[in-house]
Chains A and B, each alone.
Chain A
Amino acid sequence: MFQTTEPSSLTEHQLRALLVELFDPSADELSLDDDPAEFLGIDSLTRLHMLALVEERFDLRLRDEEITDLTTLGDIVRRIDAERARQLQ
């Protein structure tokens, strides 16, 4: 929803691996359209911990509104990709 580009498969793989490490092997079955919190049954507080960890691992800082708006795996992957592209510039 933030970028129209296709999500990178490397970022997708890394993010999925992180969620598997954190929560459950079933996270490997997440599709880009899935909401990880809903799919994995995690509560709203743990979702904030998850996003904090995403920030730490992928070296980015979400804006206030992104904390709510990044809902699907694809949203998060695209946000990481955008940050990586920005850092390369």
Chain B
Amino acid sequence: MIIGLIAMSGVRVRTKELAELGVTLPQFVSRGKVIASLPSLGLLTVAALTPPGVEVVYREVADLESYTDLEPFDLVGISSFTAQIDEAYALADRYREAGIPVVLGGLHVSLQPDEAAAHADSIVVNGAEGAWPQLVSDFRAGRMRPRYDGMRARVFDLPYYAKPRFDLLNGRAYNRLTVQTSRGCPLRCEFCAASLRITDSFQQKSVDKIVTELKDAIGVIDQPFFEFADDNTFINKKWGKQLLRALMPLDIKWFTETDISVADDDELLELLADSGCKQILIGFESPTAAGLAGIDPNGWKRRRCDCYLESIERIQSHGIAINGCFIVGLDNDTPDTFEELRDFIEASKLLEVQITVQTPFPGTPLYRRLHREKRLLQERFWDRCTLFDVNYTPKNMSVDELEAGLRWLFREVYNQRQFNHRKRHYMDIVKSLNSPYRDARAFASKRYTTAKPEEAPCKPPREPLLN
């Protein structure tokens, strides 16, 4: 028996002007390429959860039109994000017409199960842990059910946990691989459509398991750059430090997503740098308290924004570049917001910047609120959930103003001159670190010693995120 696991990959933008603009902007293009080239960790985990004796084949489909010959699998599993879900449904329909049963899973399917069920013989809701082994067993026995609900907790505990099958990537060209260290995020931002929507609480993987997975992946791809596929890695600083100490002997370079509170902890910053962390992605969302009002239920980000600039400098002074993420079209944004954001980004000297438009992904509190307020432009717009297309009526500007503002901001922030300026600043930081060139080989693989920054005068609220 052979199961084909198919990931719908690639990045989509529907608004024509933005798509055309995007390909001319160097930084926009570079991050897009990185995202598009990541393997599907979810399907590698599904492969690992497949019972022994069943062969698994992993495929990525970036362009449905070029995927003309259906491979003769006994069962097909397809995973997709929201923007590509209609392509996933079309592929599922083709396989089913050819007589090959299809299972659909992933975040979008978990949030829109009834819709997905119309295109599948079975669906997997939540994580595959606790669902997939039973599904395969039932399929072999000829009694596959139409729906399996995976675990929303304890996904990293036995008997549910399975080490992803990185061996399926053997012989393929990947620069970056993903490993998950945690699932969920206690911030619970209104717009977030990430793994917190399929978990009941924040879950951490044991450090031992993470190290084993990384070693496995290193054995498959030569010198990979790792991305931790987390919503917010360093919620728990004590566990985070244990993890970072365990990463040091691996001599890897890596990237993750976390929040600005890492700037509060000098020891954590030093461990980040010494463990090979090259870049962290932080969702700032807006540079103003007004813009951040209502973003997360507890107002945590709003209370932090006065310290954004100092915290950015503090983190980057350790040689850790920040990819700063901002959202435009928030309810308190006005036509003046674009210029304010441009000025903040220039002042911050963030090495990389990611600007997206607020996107009401199905199943999120944001979607429900905008639906309730009758502000959604269409009832169903999944192929436009690209983070760059506008799908709702903003509160303090028109749709046209939001789209025009986004295009203006892209030209202002992503142009080569600004990008070069940010790189120049980062190089100056690198040169300012203590004795950076004594060990040249360490330079190439990780970094050298860390500069001890002075105590930041800005005192952010020290609130635990994890209760």
Contact = CB atoms under 8 A, between A and B. Distances in A.
A56 B419 contact: no
A65 B420 contact: yes
Contacts of A55: 427, 431
For the complex, would chain B's binding face be called helix, strand, loop or mixed by DSSP majority? Answer: helix
B54 to A, nearest CB: 36
Contacts of A52: 427, 430-431, 436
A67 B424 contact: yes
Contacts of A64: 417, 420-421, 423-424
Contact of A67 (B223, B420, B431, B436): B420
B238 to A, nearest CB: 28
A44 B33 CA distance: 13
Interface residues of A, number: 24
B45 interface: no
A39 interface: no
A84 interface: no
Interface string A31-66: 000000000011111101111110111000010110
Interface stretch (B123-131, B260-268, B439-447): B439-447
Contacts, number: 65
Contacts of B175: 43
A50 B447 CA distance: 12
Interface string B207-235: 00000000000000001010000000000
Interface residues of B, number: 28
A22 interface: yes
Contacts of A56: 431, 436-437
A64 B444 CA distance: 22
A65 B26 CA distance: 13
User: Which residue, of B351, B431, B441, B444, has the highest number of chain A Cβ atoms within 10 A?
Assistant: B444
Given A43-B225, A53-B443, A56-B437, 14 more contacts: A45-B351, A46-B253, A48-B426, A50-B444, A52-B430, A53-B436, A55-B431, A64-B420, A64-B424, A65-B416, A67-B420, A68-B26, A68-B416, A68-B420
Interface of B: 26, 30, 175, 223, 225, 253, 278-279, 321, 351, 416-417, 419-421, 423-424, 426-427, 430-431, 436-437, 440-441, 443-444, 447
Closest 10 CB pairs of A and B: A64-B420, A52-B430, A52-B427, A22-B444, A67-B423, A64-B424, A21-B440, A45-B278, A23-B444, A22-B440
14 contacts: A21-B441, A22-B443, A23-B444, A43-B253, A45-B279, A45-B321, A46-B253, A46-B444, A48-B427, A49-B430, A51-B427, A62-B427, A67-B423, A67-B427
